[in-house]
Homo-oligomer: A and B are copies of this chain.
Amino acid sequence: MSEKLSAELIKQLSKIVGKENLFTDPGDCLPYGYDNSRLQATPEAVVFAREHDQVAGIVKLCHQHRIPLVTRGKGTGTTGATVPQQGGIVLSLERMNRILEIDRENRLARVEPGVTNKELQTALQQQGFFWPPDPTSAAVCTIGGNLAYNSAGPRAVKYGTPRESTLGLKGVTGSGETFYTGVNTTKGVVGYDLTRLIIGSEGTLAIITEARLKLTPLAQTKRTLQATYSDIHAAAKAVSAIMGQPVIPCALEFMDKSALEMVREFSDLALDSSVGALLMIEVDGAEHCIADEVTAVAQAASVEGLIDIHTAETKEEVAKLWKTRKALSPALRNIAPKKINEDVVVPVSRIPELIETLENLSKETGVTIVNFGHAGNGNIHVNLLLDPDDPKQLAAGEHCLNALFELVLGLGGTLSGEHGIGVVKRQFVDQELDPVELKLMRSIKQQFDPHQILNPGILFPD
């Protein structure tokens, strides 16, 4: 815990950003003390930077006085990484929200970190491009946050994550030094790859003040397919078959039996009781190829155990196919508003083993477990439907989480595919990372942030 900010320090902050970009009233600060993790802590001050030099000035000050500095975008993270548990200052980058350049010829955009994902996509769309990462929170979340967490979404299965779509960064280290990483081009091998080292580091190494993003041309058109299967084995086999042929879908999402039961129970959708797993598949491409591409994917999806496969032709049909998947979220919110949502990843071929073991765990503990997510990457959202405010349910949930993480690592998977570690998973990290790897990471952290002021208390286990 830092000492209370002195009046002198507040004055210096105000000098850097101006009064209108500084909150010190606890009532004003409170909304900057939580994210989407249910964790909360009120910072002693909130500063809004409008330009790089202000960020550098703020970090220098915090470095000098060893004040915790938590950087955030719009607070849509789910792991508490931007919750100022050790007090200190929250630095919001939401006002550094300019798209500085869209360079069509070189397929490059330069942006400030506070631009929202959606604002960027809208601007790019007009030029025939997109930036691949598409988290569910795209309308709200910022590019800076996407880079900090290496956030992805359904499209990652074809187009990758921020690490595959970022060329370079400008930023400030934990001691307030300005640096540049990377290149303006799609190739470059001069020195170590600090760009990707910083992407996904959850703000613990440096503060990104500008990013050069690699753009991808928009496909001409897209088709949506829905395939239903008797069980998860058949669906997982289909996923492997789809991923093993050259037409990679731009979304390959799945729902397990418990997710389908949830929808049966809480919506008026007629869903055949024989359906034990469902895939939503999207294929994008050129107008003249799309029909054949859909055929190739549908063929791959047609494994033993397939019940039905539909391709939507019109907008209305697309909406209809997505109805089952979209009915899931309100159903889950309804039954367990405080559910625990994990985002583990396992090799695609191990999905059935994951789901079956979770089914058994659910029976054993009485905790309803609902699974859906990005099957093409093996990135499964495991939802524990419980009330964490009930100590008994919480204990059962913790037991399930421990079992889940052990299971995932045993299957050759990873604890998180897109949400990151933050506070909530940090005590599990050393189950996945080996001691030498973890030691190297800590030593790198020390080089970037010698006084350990940037987003302290996250990512690393105690």
Residues of A within 8 A of B (CB): 103-108, 128, 149-150, 152, 156-157, 160-161, 163-164, 173, 177-181, 183-194, 196-197, 199-201, 205, 217-220, 240, 243-248, 285-286, 288-289, 292-293, 296, 345-349, 374, 377-379, 412-421, 425, 429, 432-434, 436-438, 440-441, 443-444, 447-448, 459
A184 touches B105 (CB 8 A): no
B152, B415, B441, B448: the one within 8 Å of A440 (CB): B448
With A105-B349, A288-B292: A180-B245 Cβ-Cβ less than 8 Å: no
- Given A179-B440, A244-B107, A244-B128: A190 in contact with B433 (beta carbons within 8 A): yes
In the complex, chain B residues whose CB is within 8 Å of the CB of A416:
188-190
Residues of B within 8 A of A103 (CB): 347, 349
Provide the residues of chain B in CB contact with A220, threshold 8 Å: 246
Instruction: For the complex formed, measure the closest distance between the CB of A270 and the CB atoms of chain B, giving whole angstroms.
Output: 33
Find chain B residues with CB under 8 A from A437 CB: 179-181, 191, 194
Residues of B within 8 A of A191 (CB): 421, 429, 432-433, 437-438, 441, 459
Considering the complex, give the chain B residue whose CB is closest to the CB of A193.
B196
Shortest CB–CB separation between residue A438 and chain B, in angstroms?
A: 7
How far, in whole Å, are A266 and B443 apart by their CA atoms in the complex?
56
A193 surroundings in chain B (CB, below 8 A): 150, 163, 193, 196-197, 199-200
15 A-B Cβ contacts within 8 A?
A103-B349, A105-B347, A164-B164, A177-B436, A179-B440, A183-B345, A185-B379, A187-B374, A189-B419, A191-B433, A192-B200, A192-B205, A194-B437, A197-B197, A440-B447
Partner of A217, one of B161, B188, B246, B349: B246
Are B197 and A417 neighbours in the complex by a CB distance under 8 Å? no
Closest B residue to A436 using CB positions: B179
Measured between alpha carbons, how far is A248 from B164 in the docked complex, in Å?
A: 16
Contacts of A177 in B (CB 8 A): 436
Q: Could you say how many copies of this chain the assembly holds?
A: 2
Closest to A162 in B: B189
Please give me the 4 A-B residue pairs with the lowest Cβ-Cβ distance, nearest first. A289-B289, A187-B417, A105-B349, A179-B436
- Residues on B with C-beta less than 8 A from A448 are 440
Q: Beyond A164-B164, A289-B289, A436-B178, is A187–B105 a contact (Cβ under 8 Å)?
A: no
The complex places the Cα of A194 from the Cα of B243 at a distance, in Å, of: 26
| Interface pair B289/A185, CB less than 8 Å apart | no
Docked-complex contact B347 and A108, CB < 8 angstroms: yes
- Evaluate contact between A164 and B160: CB separation under 8 angstroms: yes
Question: How far in angstroms is the closest Cβ of chain B from A400?
Answer: 19
A185 in contact with B377 (CB, 8 Å): yes
**Smallest distance from the beta carbon of A191 to chain B beta carbons, Å?**
5
A421 vs B190: C-alpha distance when bound (angstroms): 6
- Check if A105 sits within 8 Å of B205, measured CB to CB: no
Complex: A218 Cα to B438 Cα, angstroms:
36
> Whole-angstrom distance from the CB of A192 to the nearest CB of chain B?
5
Which residues of B have CB within 8 Å of A243?
107
Told that A128-B245, A186-B377, A247-B286 touch, could you supply 13 new A-B pairs with CB distance under 8 A? A106-B348, A106-B378, A107-B243, A108-B347, A184-B412, A185-B413, A185-B414, A187-B379, A286-B289, A286-B292, A286-B293, A289-B289, A443-B447
What's the minimum C-beta distance from A248 to chain B, rounded to whole angstroms? 8
**Contact A436 B173, beta carbon cutoff 8 Å:** yes
Contacts of A240 in B (CB 8 A): 104-106
- Please state if A188 and B289 are interface contacts (CB–CB under 8 Å): no
Q: What residues of B have a CB within 8 angstroms of the CB of A419 in the complex?
A: 189
Contacts of A150 in B (CB 8 A): 189, 193
In the complex, the answer to whether B414 meets A188 with C-beta atoms within 8 Å is yes
Query: A201 — which chain B residues lie within 8 A by C-beta?
Result: 192
